[in-house]
Amino acid sequence: MWPDRRLLDLFKIELPIVQAPMAGALDAELVIAAAQAGALGSLPCALLSVDKAREQMNIIRQRVSVPINMNFFCHQAVDADPRREAGWKQRLAPYYKELGIDPLAPFNAANRAPFDAAMCALIEELEPEIVSFHFGLPDRALLARVKAAGCIVMSSATIVKEAIWLEENGADIIIAQGAEAGGHRGMFLTDDIAGQPGTFALVPQVVDAVKVPVIAAGGIADGRGIAAAFALGAAGVQIGSAYLRCPESGVSVPARAALAQAGDASTVITNVMTGRPARGVANRAMREVGPISADAPAFPHAATALAPLKAAAEKLGRVDFTNLWAGQAVGLGCEMPAAELTRALAGSALARLAQMAG
């Protein structure tokens, strides 16, 4: 029934749909629901400790016995630069004052660590069927260990050059992430945000450039988008934003309300929330401090000084400092349990494909 069976055969799942890993926005519950409905459930581990990632995987394994994807960031870690941090706090000082927060109070550093030897040991212990990376691939020795554990490796490319690099360096599957996508751009060979192609332009050019299967990501939120991805030569889709309003997601109540109101022109690409460009629904911080600011410390350190602001504003029911990561098709999303949504996505895609064939 599906025009391309490569992912179904490789992953041994029912639907060519990857529920996108979304760090900070979902945990085991949503992964389980998507997996039970036949998609590839993806556990985002970028914000988790080794123990927490193990705990989450144990919960998933107890509830479903289908292949699962564990997802990690693999950026080059840079130390926080005290001078930049001080300048950033200065830039945010009026907000601290407004919300009555002591700028000298100690607070936790942002915690997005790249994939390392300890996480790699966890992969060897848990042997997830699939491991996906964002921001390139880990170093050769770590990647060799992931592959020796039997995992299929995927990573995101935002331009053709990155897709070719990923294939040459061991990725088994490329996720072509178009500019429409919510969350961080997976870019690692370029930092040119203005040049990032959209999904419609990127997918066929990546398909032409590599031999491995390509998964389309970015702006796909219903059956029409899935059918279009197949027409462009993709072997499947990775869908993020459409899952954000599922009751199983970890999105806070005020953020949920902001997402429900968002439309096609509500999102921007910003570096102010973490130091790395990501797409989200524009909020006060993105508008007033950015959306792009040269003052933002390097990833992930920009997030450190924003954390107390986010917490204080959310207590007041405001999302002024919340990472409202979401893509340009966020307006197509609806409030629906994740398993039901997964089945609806697949059903409407098949109906659309049949209609187009017939």
Ligand X SMILES: Cc1cc2nc3c(=O)[nH]c(=O)nc-3n(C[C@H](O)[C@H](O)[C@H](O)COP(=O)(O)O)c2cc1C
* Site of interaction with ligand X (CB under 6 A): 20-23, 25, 44, 46, 71, 134, 177, 180-183, 217-220, 238-241, 325-327, 329
Minimum CB separation of residue 156 from ligand X in Å reads 6
Minimum CB separation of residue 321 from ligand X in Å reads 16
Pairing of strands 183-184, 278-281: antiparallel
The smaller minimum CB distance to ligand X, of residues 67 and 250, is found at: 250
The smaller minimum CB distance to ligand X, of residues 96 and 269, is found at: 269
For residue 78 the two structure tokens come to 């840079």
Q: Which residue is nearest to ligand X (CB)?
A: 240
Minimum CB separation of residue 64 from ligand X in Å reads 20
For residue 76 the two structure tokens come to 């080059």
Taken as a whole, the chain contains a residue count of 358
**Measured between alpha carbons, how far is 43 from 152 in angstroms, rounded to an integer?**
15
**Measured between alpha carbons, how far is 46 from 153 in angstroms, rounded to an integer?**
16
Minimum CB separation of residue 162 from ligand X in Å reads 13
The smaller minimum CB distance to ligand X, of residues 96 and 325, is found at: 325
Minimum CB separation of residue 356 from ligand X in Å reads 22
**Measured between alpha carbons, how far is 122 from 267 in angstroms, rounded to an integer?**
36
Minimum CB separation of residue 45 from ligand X in Å reads 8
Give the three-class secondary structure for 86: helix
The smaller minimum CB distance to ligand X, of residues 81 and 192, is found at: 192
The smaller minimum CB distance to ligand X, of residues 39 and 96, is found at: 39
Pairing of strands 130-134, 236-239: unpaired
The smaller minimum CB distance to ligand X, of residues 96 and 163, is found at: 163
Q: Give buried/exposed letters for 103-138 (b at 16+ CB in 10 A, else e).
A: eeeeeeebebbbbeeebbebbeebebbbbbbbbbbb
User: If residue 153 lies in a helix (H) or strand (E), which one and from where to where?
Assistant: strand 152-157
The smaller minimum CB distance to ligand X, of residues 73 and 96, is found at: 73
Minimum CB separation of residue 320 from ligand X in Å reads 17
Alpha helices in the chain (DSSP H): 6-11, 28-36, 50-63, 82-98, 117-126, 140-148, 160-168, 199-209, 223-231, 253-261, 284-289, 302-315, 338-357
Biggest alpha carbon–alpha carbon distance for the chain = 66
Minimum CB separation of residue 151 from ligand X in Å reads 15
The smaller minimum CB distance to ligand X, of residues 218 and 308, is found at: 218
Contact predicate 27/356, CB 8 Å: no
Minimum CB separation of residue 36 from ligand X in Å reads 20
The smaller minimum CB distance to ligand X, of residues 85 and 116, is found at: 116
60: number of Cβ within 10 Å: 23
Q: In degrees to the nearest 10, what's the CA dihedral of 42, 48, 51, 57?
A: -10
